[in-house]
Structure 1
Amino acid sequence: MSKIALFALGNALIDQEFQVSDDFLATQNLQKGTMQLADGEAQTRLYTNLQASQTYKGQASGGSAANTTVAFSALGGRAFYGCRVGHDELGQTYLDGLNEAGIFTAQQSISEGVTGTCMVLITPDTERTMHTYLGITAELSVDQIDFQPLEQAQWLYIEGYLSTSDTARHAVAKAREIAKANDVKIALSLSDPAMVQYARAGLTELLADGVDLLFCNEQEALMFTETADLDAALAVLLENNQNVVITLGAKGALVASQNEKIHVEGRKVKAVDTNGAGDAFAGAFLYAIHQGSNLEQAAELAILISSEVVAQFGPRLAIEKYARLQQSIELDLA
């Protein structure tokens, strides 16, 4: 395998996306804007109800860190994705989709079990709510991960959704150990307000002694730090992390290091679906940093890419569109 720049760890899920009403969320007892874990039977019941009364928008290979990795790769970076899928049709479809996007995977990602699925529910206000059956990805462990590419990577990227799994947290700990031994920088995303609310201890374990780059949105930042405003939240996050990016939706992003704090304005688009926007932001930001951009330039590219994701249904753009968007703005790349 050729040397890669980004080594990412995350869940492997096949997304089924639906347009739904707010009333439907209420009748299904789903909390808007968060991710809820469920067993296979609950997932099947919800899927049946969705097919009977809501609007189906399509299927896509998902997973938060996978979406980030696709954006990084489509912009021109070489990337590897460590995950776990079942020995079934959906599992092979998932890995094939990553490979077609130019992302390296390992055959040891395949194991006995059922590939996870996620019902992505988009309400009229474009907010996304997720109902997830993790399947075998809930048992991601060191056995499914080929750590060799990590030794020569530039970045290790970790999704916060792994905080709910004991075996995945152990795998992340090993990845962090390898990264530190080989001077690989570490980035992590808090991923979801539900992870902050229900898996705080797991997130704290994933963060360990801090990371080089932390991604979160405004709600996650305030919840995780238990503060009332962004300045206070940022101060807390910078105590243990070298760089922090707080996405602000249409208002853009707040990016900060130990020495500077910058607000980068958002971009006006007609929002359709927020699913995957934060993931795309992280992938574009990491790519720009990898290419030598400063924090502000990286945020500009990330906002451009993520705003285009918001303007369509689905968590990823067509592969060729990432490069076209990159070419449409001026970046001081090394």
Structure 2
Amino acid sequence: MKQYDIYAIGNALVDTEIEVSDADLERFGIQKGFMTLVDEARQNELTDLLQDHLVASRRASGGSACNTVIAASYFGAKTFYSCKLAEDDNGRFYLNDLERAGVDYLPAFAEHPGTSGKCLVLITPDAERTMNTFLGISATVGAEQLHAPAISQAKIIYIEGYLAASDSATEAVCQLKQQGQANGAQIALTFSDPSMVNYCQDNLRTMIGDGVDLLFCNETEALDFTGKSTLAEAVEALKPLCKKFALTLGAKGALVYDGEQSYQIAAHAVQPIDSNGAGDLFAGAFLYAISHGHTFPEAGALASLASATLVTQFGPRLDPTQYEAIRQQVLGA
């Protein structure tokens, strides 16, 4: 029996959320709804400009794959996370967050001089999240962050699309895929953000290589990646690249494909206030469910309810007490 349900690699970022208006984004020259990589000076400039705005949540350990494995862990999965952190306050905070969630990691990944990555998450009244990210030491994630013993003990390898912004991380992902496949793991990948599809597609395609077992993406990413004009066309264009997929559709729910049949997953009518982390939580709930023997429709239902619950509150993840209640509501005791 494998020790880990999920082994993941991603950028380690400490999130800070701030409520802003569309006018604020326009005034500061920020592209809405996208992740933009910035240097530390630009991020500090934005923080200063927005210092009189309401900080909507406490800081949280973030990054797409981190949010996903923490969610999966709270649902009951055994997880391991590879990343790169500095020996600073944010790095120590980040590791404490992983430990609270029960996520395993290698301490040596955090023993580096420098600055840990930070993400300024700007939330507009329509609940859209816009991210300005300073990668810090995460910009140099590479093969040395891979932990072969944990990889060999994982059922599923989960890869964050944001790593496509780095050539060293892209190479590490290719090595990770090879090691995982050699040990019988399923390979799952998320596109993470439209910016990765639009500006880092060559590295994304390198990561995908001859295909992955499971792809997570949203409708915009699917259309942009395939260059198709309709969702149906995009779905058919994605199938040669992935054996299975989970495609989120916002208020329209999700479409999941188990390799043989597609299933429409119903949405939940909620009043959203913050979409930050919703896709990551969807993936975490979904991966937990399929790694514990549940069907794609069951996994989709769990992921849909979890992400719908998340968008009604601030922050990239649920309160620890919410996961079990959601799991029982969908999957039973």
1:4 and 2:4 aligned? yes
Alpha-carbon deviation of 1:10? 0.4
> Following the alignment from structure 1 to structure 2, what is the Cα–Cα distance between the partners of residues 257 and 72?
20
Alpha-carbon deviation of 1:321? 1.1
Q: Which residue of 2 aligns with 1:225?
A: 226
Please give the per-residue CA displacement for 1:154-177, whole angstroms capped at 9, x wherever unaligned: 000001000011111111111101
Q: Which residue of 2 aligns with 1:56?
A: 55
Alpha-carbon deviation of 1:14? 0.5
| Partner secondary structure for residue 4 of structure 2 | coil
> Following the alignment from structure 2 to structure 1, what is the Cα–Cα distance between the partners of residues 79 and 321?
17
Alpha-carbon deviation of 1:144? 2.6
Please give the per-residue CA displacement for 1:88-147, whole angstroms capped at 9, x wherever unaligned: 111011011101110001112111210010000000000000000000001011223322
Q: Which residue of 2 aligns with 1:316?
A: 317
Alpha-carbon deviation of 1:320? 2.2
Output aligned runs, 1:126-145, within 5 Å. Answer: 126-145=127-146
Alpha-carbon deviation of 1:257? 3.5
| Partner secondary structure for residue 138 of structure 1 | helix
Q: Which residue of 2 aligns with 1:238?
A: 239
> Following the alignment from structure 2 to structure 1, what is the Cα–Cα distance between the partners of residues 322 and 109?
28
Q: Which residue of 2 aligns with 1:38?
A: 38
Q: Does the CA-based 8 Å contact 1:288-1:298 persist in structure 2? A: yes
Please give the per-residue CA displacement for 1:173-205, whole angstroms capped at 9, x wherever unaligned: 111011110110000000001111111111111
Structure 2: runs of 5+ lacking an equivalent:
none
> Following the alignment from structure 1 to structure 2, what is the Cα–Cα distance between the partners of residues 213 and 99?
27
Alpha-carbon deviation of 1:240? 2.1
Q: Which residue of 2 aligns with 1:13?
A: 13
The number of aligned residues is 330
> Following the alignment from structure 2 to structure 1, what is the Cα–Cα distance between the partners of residues 280 and 331?
22
Output aligned runs, 1:142-291, within 5 Å. Answer: 142-291=143-292
Percent identical residues: 44
Query: Counterpart of 1:73 in structure 2: which amino acid?
Result: S
Q: Does the CA-based 8 Å contact 1:269-1:311 persist in structure 2? A: yes
> Following the alignment from structure 2 to structure 1, what is the Cα–Cα distance between the partners of residues 268 and 207?
32
> Following the alignment from structure 2 to structure 1, what is the Cα–Cα distance between the partners of residues 14 and 148?
24
1:115 and 2:119 aligned? no
Q: Which runs of 4+ in 1 moved over 2 A?
A: none
> Following the alignment from structure 1 to structure 2, what is the Cα–Cα distance between the partners of residues 123 and 306?
18
Q: Which residue of 1 aligns with 2:81?
A: 81
Alpha-carbon deviation of 1:50? 1.2
> Following the alignment from structure 1 to structure 2, what is the Cα–Cα distance between the partners of residues 222 and 137?
29
Alpha-carbon deviation of 1:35? 0.2
Q: Does the CA-based 8 Å contact 1:246-1:254 persist in structure 2? A: yes
Alpha-carbon deviation of 1:55? 1.6
RMSD (CA atoms): 1.2
**Deviating more after overlay: 322-331 vs 36-45:** 322-331
Structure 1: runs of 5+ lacking an equivalent:
none
Alpha-carbon deviation of 1:260? 1.1
Q: Does the CA-based 8 Å contact 2:75-2:327 persist in structure 1? A: yes
> Following the alignment from structure 1 to structure 2, what is the Cα–Cα distance between the partners of residues 8 and 235?
27
Q: Does the CA-based 8 Å contact 2:191-2:216 persist in structure 1? A: yes
The TM-score, its normalising length taken from structure 1, stands at 0.97
